[in-house]
Amino acid sequence: MSEETWQQLVDLDALRGWMDHQGLGHGDLRDVTPLIGGTQNVLLRFVRDNRPYVLRRSPKSPRGDGNATNRREARALGALATTDVPHPRLIAACSSDDVIGAAFYLMEPIDGFNATVALPAPHATDAVLRRRMGFALVEGALALSRVDHVKVGLADFGKSDGFLERQVPRWRALLDSYHDYKEWPGPAAIAGIDVVADWLTQNRPTTFTPGILHGDYHLSNVMFRNDSAELAAIVDWELCTIGDPLLDMGWIMATWPDLRGQTTSEIGITPWDGFPRIEELMAHYAEHSPRDCTHLKWYGVLGCYKLGLILEGTYARACAGQAAVATGDRLHKSCIKLFQRALKWLEQDRVSLS
């Protein structure tokens, strides 16, 4: 994000006045620096009264209601404050758009790195550390799944009733909406789209234990510690809701690179050797989860289905000239790869039953 853009979206004088009323230090905001990463949101790091802060607000033209999203994120982070889930610690939140033109919140900076951007030393040269990083990612999802959402004040944060039943129809309806882009060739190029949907419907788990769902849990949305292979924080909580937490593990399964480091969705790390196989991550999750993981592969297939149809939306918009053609083509290929992974799991399931 350019300096000009963030200055248009964050009035530092207004922010300083709001912080005065909140009792958050005194004096000027110093060392104001825009942060970049895998997010469309505005992220600013600054220092006031020798305390560092990170501000997060929605972009100028967010997808959906950016204010509502920021309020939900702030509420989720606040609820996690007393848990062992690694996350950015909430400092304060402003639900009004009167201060800087949008709802925003302030959080503590994270001392860590995004592994999909670059691996620092010693992680880049130590395969043992990289192996542990994979299991640490799973353990972050496990920690979140163990939080009692009612006790932390998130009982009304999402609609868990019928959560699994809604999944296939909801994402198929999203796909059907792409027909509004007349230039989109349709779903015919996505091999197995109906086969996967039918399998998900016929093999859907009959029960689940509701809990907090991050909603976009993968390597790009966590930060690792600089001094170890453990998680420093889970970030980007905009899709957080109450549902079936096993879908977070399914998201890992859908996006995890294969043995050669080849990925379905452009979420990868270099070097890749040393990281665990998908099957090892699944076994680790099942071993440490109090939930029934009998149908864990179903959640991986659902992760492929859901993410694939979301990515296809960019391709549809690109066909209509509303997104970059190169980006649309790239994400369309990712959609196809995701369905190929799902079909492979279906074939394995068929063989195991024959």
Task: Please name every residue paired with 277 in a beta bridge, in sequence order, or none if there are none.
Answer: none
Per-residue confidence (pLDDT) for residue 63, from 0 to 100 = 66
Question: What does the alpha-carbon distance between residue 45 and residue 52 come to, in Å, rounded to a whole number?
Answer: 7
Question: What does the alpha-carbon distance between residue 214 and residue 234 come to, in Å, rounded to a whole number?
Answer: 9
CATH number of 3-109: 3.90.400.10, 3.30.200.20, 1.20.140.10, 3.30.420.610?
A: 3.30.200.20
Which ranges of 183-295 does DSSP label H, i.e. alpha helix?
A: 193-202, 246-255, 278-288
Per-residue confidence (pLDDT) for residue 4, from 0 to 100 = 46
Per-residue confidence (pLDDT) for residue 1, from 0 to 100 = 45
- Say what the pTM is: 0.94
For the domain 113-353, what is the CATH code?
3.90.1200.10
Per-residue confidence (pLDDT) for residue 2, from 0 to 100 = 42
- What are the residue ranges spanned by the domains of the chain? 3-109, 113-353
Strand, helix or coil at 127?
Answer: helix
Per-residue confidence (pLDDT) for residue 318, from 0 to 100 = 96
Neighbours of 17 (CB within 10 A): 12
DSSP state of 180: G
Question: What does the alpha-carbon distance between residue 15 and residue 21 come to, in Å, rounded to a whole number?
Answer: 10
Tokens describing residue 66? 């950016």
pLDDT by residue, tens only, the chain of 354 residues: 444 478 888 999 999 999 999 999 999 999 999 987 545 689 999 999 999 999 999 887 666 688 999 999 999 999 999 999 999 999 999 999 999 999 999 999 999 999 999 999 999 999 999 999 999 999 999 999 999 999 999 999 999 999 999 999 999 999 999 999 999 999 999 999 999 999 999 999 999 999 999 999 999 999 999 999 999 999 999 999 999 999 999 999 999 999 999 999 889 999 999 999 999 999 999 999 999 999 999 999 999 999 999 999 999 999 999 999 999 999 999 999 999 999 999 998 776 543
Per-residue confidence (pLDDT) for residue 354, from 0 to 100 = 38
Per-residue confidence (pLDDT) for residue 146, from 0 to 100 = 97
Closest by Cα among 159, 41, 19 to 93: 19
Question: What does the alpha-carbon distance between residue 299 and residue 57 come to, in Å, rounded to a whole number?
Answer: 31
Question: What does the alpha-carbon distance between residue 266 and residue 332 come to, in Å, rounded to a whole number?
Answer: 12
Per-residue confidence (pLDDT) for residue 37, from 0 to 100 = 58
Does this chain's domain 3-109 share its CATH topology with 113-353? no
Please state, in angstroms and as integers, the Cα–Cα distance from residue 266 to each residue in 98, 115, 221, 270, 334, following that order: 38, 13, 13, 12, 7
